[in-house]
Amino acid sequence: MSHGFETLAIHAGQEPEPRTGAVVPPIYQTSTYAQDAVGAPRLGYEYSRSANPTRDALQDCLAALEGGPVGLAFASGLAAEDTLLRTVCRPGDHVVIPDDAYGGTFRLFARVAERWGLTWTAARISDPDAVRAAVRPGQTKVIWVETPTNPLLGIADIAGLAGLASDVDALLVVDNTFASPYLQQPIALGADVVVHSTTKYVGGHSDVVGGALVAASAALGEELRYHQNAMGGVNGPFDAWLTLRGVKTLGVRMDRHCDNAERIADYLHGHRAVAQVLYPGLPEHPGHEVAAKQMRRFGGMISFRAAGGEEHAVQICDRAKLFVLAESLGGVESLIEHPGRMTHASAAGSPLEVPADLVRLSVGIETADDLLADLEQALG
C-alpha cells in the first residue's frame, strides 16, 4: 500500500504467472479443478463459483485501490448490491437511501427488497440533518450513499455521514461508481463498504458488465465472501479479465475524463439553451466545497436542465451525433441520455423521480473541441 495509485492498478494482484512468466494474468476459463486428494483442493481451488484465479486477481486489485482488506467481484453492480443487502440486513430492518439514486438501485429497494421485508426512507444525503431525521433508531441498519449521485450530481460528506452511521449503529455504504477509486476513497473517510458498478469507469470500455464490493473490515469482508459464494452472482473469468485490463488505465483515463468535463461544464454554464448545469466542479454547485475536500477531481459526469423543457431535452439527446444516445456511463466514448425516460424511468412517480427536462452526459476521452462542437449543434 506504499505504492501510488497507478502502480497498484497495474500490479496489485497481478504478479507474473509463475509457470510461464506471463505478465498478464491468464484467463482461467474453467468451472472445476483437479484435486490432489479427497478434501485437498490444489491451492484452495475446487469450483469457480467459489473461487477462480482470474477473479481473485481482480478482487485483490480492487481491494488495494479502495484501501480495504477484502474485495469481491460480481456479475453486475446490482448483484453486488443485492448480496450486500441480504448479508447485512434481515426482514424488518430499515435503510436510508438517497432521494437521488440510480434507478436500478431504487428498483432493487422498492420492488424487490421491500417484498422481502426491508423498508427504506429516501433522504437528501447532502443534508446530514435530513439523513439523521430519516434514521429509525434500533431499526436502521444501513445508510446508503451515492456521491456524486446519479443523475443529479449531489455530494454527500462521507466523513460526516460515517460519524452519523456510527452514532446510530448502522453501516455506511458508499456507491463510488461515479467517482471511481482514483478520484475518491470512501473507506479512508470512514465508510464500511464501497460499492461499484465496474461496468462503468473501472472497466472503462463499454465491453463488460460487472460489480464489486470492498469491505473496510476483514470480518465483514469474509461474511460477504460467504454470501457471494452462497448466492452465486459472481463475475465470470473472462469478464474479470476484461475488467482487470480496463482498470490498469483508470488513472490516466479519469484525468482525461475530468479535463473534458471541466471544459464542457464551463461551456454549458453560459449557454442560452441551458437552464442549470449540475457539476460539482463548478464553484456555485452546493456540494463544491465538500467535493473539493474529499475528491481528487470532480469526475466526468455532467447533468443539465434544458431551458426549453422536456421536449427540448429529448431533442438535444436525439440531435447529438458524437455523443452516443445510450444508457450506462464511464466508457472512453461520450454518451448522452434522458434519465426520465431511460435509466431512471423506474423512479417515475416516486420520491426519486428526476426532472423531465434533465439531460445526463458521460463525457468521454475524445478531443474536447469535437465534443463541444457536437453539443453546440445539439443544443440548437
Report, as residue numbers or ranges, the catalytic residues.
49, 102, 175, 200
Give Cβ neighbours of residue 355 (< 8 Å, ≥ 6 apart).
305, 340
Residue 193: exposure state from Cβ atoms within 10 A (0-12, 13-18, ≥19): buried
Query: Phi then psi for 248, rounded to 5 degrees?
Result: -60, -30
Query: E strands along the chain, which residues?
Result: 35-37, 40-41, 70-74, 94-98, 119-123, 140-146, 171-175, 193-196, 211-215, 274-278, 301-306, 324-325, 335-337, 358-362
Report the DSSP beta bridge partners of residue 32: 47
Dist. CA 128–CA 123, nearest whole Å? 9
Place of cell 450513499: 145
Is the CB of residue 100 less than 8 Å from the CB of residue 352? Answer: yes
Q: What angle do CA 42, 44, 47 make, to 5 degrees?
A: 95
Place of cell 461508481: 177
Is the CB of residue 70 less than 8 Å from the CB of residue 193? Answer: no
Residue 50: exposure state from Cβ atoms within 10 A (0-12, 13-18, ≥19): middle
